[in-house]
């Protein structure tokens, strides 16, 4: 028997105006400031990775020479090519000193990642037209869980985690519905957009979910319980907030724009 975790509130992408305000007041100035303070290039990062790989390759080759590891010919050739590349163009002392700083990522993002994000902000993101960004933000919204979207289906004895509750989620318990039947409500809404070069279908996400539970249409007491207690029960016997027959009208097939005919598969 099933219970469904449902999104309790929307998490929309920013509007175009909000995004533009962020770019102008925060995003672009921060990116430009970081690039000014860290004038690295793609070549710098390439060299940093090459130096890093060189150290690993030398260590592996040493283990190979001692008979501690086995290497196939293509693996040995690749390792020797990395070593030759660096030894033919030795790194400067400052390159060796800064290589770990550039690419290490313990708990914080590496300088390389921050640099690439900042470069993308300056060179690409800040130059997008309104039309380009509107399309992008629309796609982001379509890919996000909206209020009423079923997130995951679990058996009725499943214990939800601390983060799987209000204010972001609530649970719909459905003791009379099998898990196999309830899983259809977590299907993604994909649409056919054409064929690739090999004749395979290209599918694009139109919405995160094909089905939506119309929470805002619930009877007031049921909606209030969902948003305050974080749990409602749909069942034909015992304790319940809605019967299966009452609840089916709130299960909305977004693709065909129709409501559910039956919740128990009959």
Do the Cβ atoms of 115 and 45 come closer than 8 Å? yes
Q: How far apart are CA 251 and CA 187, in angstroms?
A: 13
Tell me the pTM.
0.67
Note whether residue 198 is domain-resident. Answer: yes
Q: How far apart are CA 183 and CA 177, in angstroms?
A: 10
191 phi and psi angles, rounded to 5 deg: -125, 145
Note whether residue 107 is domain-resident. Answer: yes
Number of structural domains (the chain) is: 2
Note whether residue 20 is domain-resident. Answer: yes
Query: Which contiguous run of DSSP H or E holds residue 19?
Result: helix 16-22
Q: What pLDDT is stored for residue 152 in this prediction?
A: 97
Please indicate, yes or no, whether residues 122 and 166 belong to a single structural domain of this protein: no
Q: What pLDDT is stored for residue 42 in this prediction?
A: 87
Please indicate, yes or no, whether residues 92 and 171 belong to a single structural domain of this protein: no
Please indicate, yes or no, whether residues 161 and 67 belong to a single structural domain of this protein: no
Please indicate, yes or no, whether residues 21 and 131 belong to a single structural domain of this protein: yes
Please indicate, yes or no, whether residues 113 and 21 belong to a single structural domain of this protein: yes
Note whether residue 75 is domain-resident. Answer: yes
Note whether residue 266 is domain-resident. Answer: no
Please indicate, yes or no, whether residues 202 and 250 belong to a single structural domain of this protein: yes
Report which of 166, 147, 146, 150 is spatially closest to residue 234, judged by C-alpha positions: 150
Note whether residue 161 is domain-resident. Answer: yes
- CA terminus-to-terminus distance, the chain: 15
Q: Which two tokens stand for residue 183?
A: 């899983």
Note whether residue 140 is domain-resident. Answer: no
Please indicate, yes or no, whether residues 184 and 127 belong to a single structural domain of this protein: no
Please indicate, yes or no, whether residues 107 and 178 belong to a single structural domain of this protein: no
- Tens of pLDDT along the chain (266 residues) come to 899 999 999 988 999 999 999 999 999 999 999 999 999 888 888 888 888 888 889 999 999 999 999 999 999 999 999 999 889 988 887 788 777 677 766 667 888 889 999 999 999 999 999 999 999 999 899 889 999 999 999 998 999 999 999 999 999 999 989 999 999 999 998 888 888 888 888 888 888 999 999 999 999 999 999 999 999 999 998 889 999 999 999 999 998 999 999 887 56
137: left (phi > 0), else alpha (psi -120 to 50), else beta?
alpha
Residue range of the domain that includes 105: 16-135
Distances (CA, A) of 132 to 4, 108, 113, 124, 137: 36, 31, 24, 11, 9
């Amino acid at each position: 028997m099933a219970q469904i975790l449902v999104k309790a509130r929307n998490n929309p992408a920013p509007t175009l105006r909000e995004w533009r305000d962020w770019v102008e007041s925060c995003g672009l100035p921060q990116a430009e400031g970081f690039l000014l303070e860290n004038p690295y290039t793609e070549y710098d990062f390439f060299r940093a990775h090459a130096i890093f790989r060189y150290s690993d390759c030398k260590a592996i080759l040493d283990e190979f020479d001692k008979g501690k590891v086995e290497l196939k010919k293509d693996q040995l050739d690749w390792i020797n090519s990395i070593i030759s590349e660096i030894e033919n163009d030795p790194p400067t002392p400052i390159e060796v000193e800064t290589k770990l700083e550039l690419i290490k990522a313990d708990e914080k993002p590496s300088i390389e990642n921050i640099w690439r994000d900042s470069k993308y902000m300056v060179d690409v993101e800040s130059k997008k037209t309104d039309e380009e960004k509107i399309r992008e933000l629309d796609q982001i919204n379509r890919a996000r869980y909206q209020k009423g979207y079923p997130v995951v289906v679990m058996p009725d004895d499943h214990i939800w985690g601390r983060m799987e509750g209000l204010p972001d989620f609530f649970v719909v318990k459905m003791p009379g519905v099998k898990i196999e039947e309830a899983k259809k409500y977590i299907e993604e809404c994909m649409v056919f957009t054409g064929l690739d070069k090999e004749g395979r279908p290209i599918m694009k996400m139109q919405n995160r979910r094909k089905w939506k539970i119309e929470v805002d249409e619930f009877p007031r007491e049921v909606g209030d319980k969902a948003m305050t207690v974080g749990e409602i029960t749909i069942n034909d016997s015992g304790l319940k907030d809605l019967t299966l027959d009452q609840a089916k009208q709130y299960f909305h097939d977004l693709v065909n724009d129709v409501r559910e005919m039956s919740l128990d598969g009959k």
